[in-house]
Chains A and B, each alone.
Chain A
Amino acid sequence: MKNLYMTLLTMIKGNIMGWLNIKKGMILILILMLSSLFLAQIVSSVGVSGKTLRVSDIFYEPGGDTLSYQFKGVVVPEGGAELTVEGDFADWIELSKEELLYDGEWDFTASIIMNGDVHPPGGETGAKVCVKEKQVSGTGMFGSVVQSCVPFEVVVLYDEAYPVLTMSSSVGVEEVNLTLSVQNYGKETMNVGSGEMVILDYLNSTIDSIPFGVGTVVQSQKITSVQETVNISNYLPGTYPIETNVFIDDEEYSVQGSFVVGKEDVTLVSFPETIILDGIQRVSITAKNEWADEANVGLELYFGDLLVGTSTPLKINAFGEGSYTIYADTSSFSLGEMTGKVVFSFGDGLTAEESVTFSFVEDGGSNLEENLDEPEGMNVWLIVGVIVVLLILLIGIILFIKSRSEDEFDDEEF
């Protein structure tokens, strides 16, 4: 490489065309440009693609059929990638390959083997199938390796019936639906009988009780659900715990949940602690809709009593958050602590006001921001390489044209 640069220097100093013709020069220049790419910063990259990259809701049934999943390696590095399986369930996942070669076929299969001699214990388990870069990059204090993984979330069926209960609730203004789901993680069928949903207040006192009767037979791996509707129009805003008891195969099980009664209100979630005092500045504000229905929420920002910015209404989902960006003119303020307010407008002429305290600060030119904005080494090297090549070529062109002119002049003299 050193010789190459020396050669190029000689080319510039001497008569370039007398030493080398244009074609050879271009080859050298191309080599120089390509080498500048390879001298760039260390980059590690690897990936995996497939129909789904989080394989969940899989039931392992001892003696059952093998389940196979197709994947493909993405951006396999020159050193190749190894395929690995990690986790408690790793022994029951079989890969079609051990590695992916840079210039080879990148498809592979991961199979869940259920008909082996040894089976995993019952319950929820899992493993990760990973495409891992083979070579450690970096030559100094720290090396790095990247890997992209596909989690497998598996339920190994229990020998007997095994109910798994979950409680969920919908969002509503006047009514909410409470849903009890019962899934059978066992090999045997089970009978879901009667039960009740008890609504509690924040002191855990019973507010309401909703009895239900199911009488459903649930097969292995299957799920059944019970849904009850509660009128909440007389409920105060807040979170209400639910405790549900149900008899399954004559044994009582219980599960907890909750639902939220909303309030037609908007609250401030975040406001910057400092704002740079320098002309027009961006102010990011986050608000939360406390109502159980979507709302169009407008915003006004005041520094002191001076209105410095407004936002057109933003549609925020029920109990969701919305982000606003206000461009406020800071030129009429001075450094130091400042109070202000954020006024939200929503619903049918409703407003909510939140006071804010922040500080106007000088533009310190944060090192972090500077660091973040600087281009990556790859691009810097590329640009430097291109500029060097352009300069060399321009000098070459000038020398070439000049030498031809002198030749013609000599010919004419001759």
Chain B
Amino acid sequence: MEEHKVLTGMLLVALVVSVVGTVITVDRLGALGGVSGLTGAATTGDQYGNLTISEVVAIKTTGDIDFGTGEFDVGEDYQFMSSYAESTENDNSENTTFPSVESIPTNRTKVENQGNVGINVTVSSTKIYGTGGNSFLCAGDAGPCGLGHSDSDPEVDFAFIALDEGSDSCNETAQRTSFAETVPYQVCDCLTAETGLNSMHVYLEMGLTRDAAGQKTSTLTYTATKADGSGVCFVA
């Protein structure tokens, strides 16, 4: 009977190891994204091999930036918001109840090259900066919005910051770019496909005014195309 208990215990341990191993393996394989860039075909008759390595352009984003929810403190009517802790002297929570810049639930979007060639990455936004009808701040706002800020006032900016993850992932990274139109703006001219270096981060910044109440939303479209030339990035 004692032997039976030991065997049962060992069986359960083996089961755990097996299940955990499978889950981890599936996770790792999932990270590859099912990219299969190698195709082959053997010819008949002449007895020679023919191998074609397909080019793959694939992009993956992880984490949509979330500033959380909040409201203005009494007597305050403007707050500069950033998801990048080092970009501003202000803190998102200075004049509001929004989480501080260091404790934003998700402070960046990770952009990853899942293909086998260098990619040019752009991002476009359905909303733009300023106080106009299609601005991130005031779109859909029925009442007054912008508290006297002009449409081109940098205080009501809506912009992104793109940075290498670590270093050496992007040949030429855009620093800080405002969404002036709904057109695509360059995030990286050539994001390398080299494993371990193939990702970068995008942060967002904006100015908020008290009278721009309601939920503010925008959809960001990340586009990947094969980088110019051979698609090989010469990252400094």
Interface residues of A (CB under 8 A from B): 22, 26, 29-30, 33, 37, 41-54, 72, 74-75, 128, 130, 132, 136-138, 140-151, 270, 284, 286, 321, 323, 366-368, 371-372, 376-379, 382, 386, 389-390, 393, 396-397, 400-401, 404-405, 408
Contacts and interface: CB of A to CB of B under 8 A. Distances in A.
B170 to A, nearest CB: 14
Contact of A367 (B102, B218, B220): B102
B64 A143 contact: yes
Interface stretch (B41-49, B50-58, B88-96, B142-150): B50-58
Given A143-B64, A270-B236, A53 B117 contact: yes
Looking at chain A's contact residues, is the secondary structure mostly helix, strand, loop, or mixed? mixed
Contacts of B64: 42, 137-138, 140, 142-144
Contact of B54 (A42, A51, A379): A51
A49 B110 contact: no
Contact of A128 (B12, B36, B108, B225): B225
Given A378-B27, A382-B27, A404-B5, A47 B216 contact: no
B133 interface: no
B34 interface: yes
Contacts of B66: 140-142
B16 A142 contact: no
Contacts of A377: 62-63
Contacts of B140: none
B27 A367 contact: no
Given A26-B15, A389-B16, A148 B57 contact: yes
Contact of A75 (B15, B33, B110): B33
Interface of B: 1, 5, 8-9, 12-13, 15-16, 19-20, 23-24, 27, 33-37, 52, 54-67, 84-86, 102, 106-110, 114-115, 117, 163, 165-167, 201, 204, 215-226, 228, 231, 236
B85 A50 contact: no
A37 B52 CA distance: 35
A150 B220 contact: no
Given A128-B225, A143-B64, A41 B55 contact: no
A278 to B, nearest CB: 19
Chain B CB within 10 Å, residue with most, of A51, A149, A396? A149
Given A45-B114, A51-B54, A146 B222 contact: yes
26 contacts: A33-B19, A43-B60, A44-B61, A45-B59, A49-B35, A53-B231, A74-B56, A75-B60, A128-B225, A140-B217, A141-B218, A143-B220, A144-B64, A144-B109, A148-B223, A149-B225, A150-B57, A366-B86, A367-B85, A368-B84, A368-B86, A371-B107, A371-B108, A378-B27, A382-B23, A386-B24
A37 B27 contact: yes
B107 A147 contact: no
A52 B33 CA distance: 20
A144 B219 contact: yes
Contacts of A130: 223
Given A33-B19, A54-B226, A145-B221, A45 B33 contact: yes
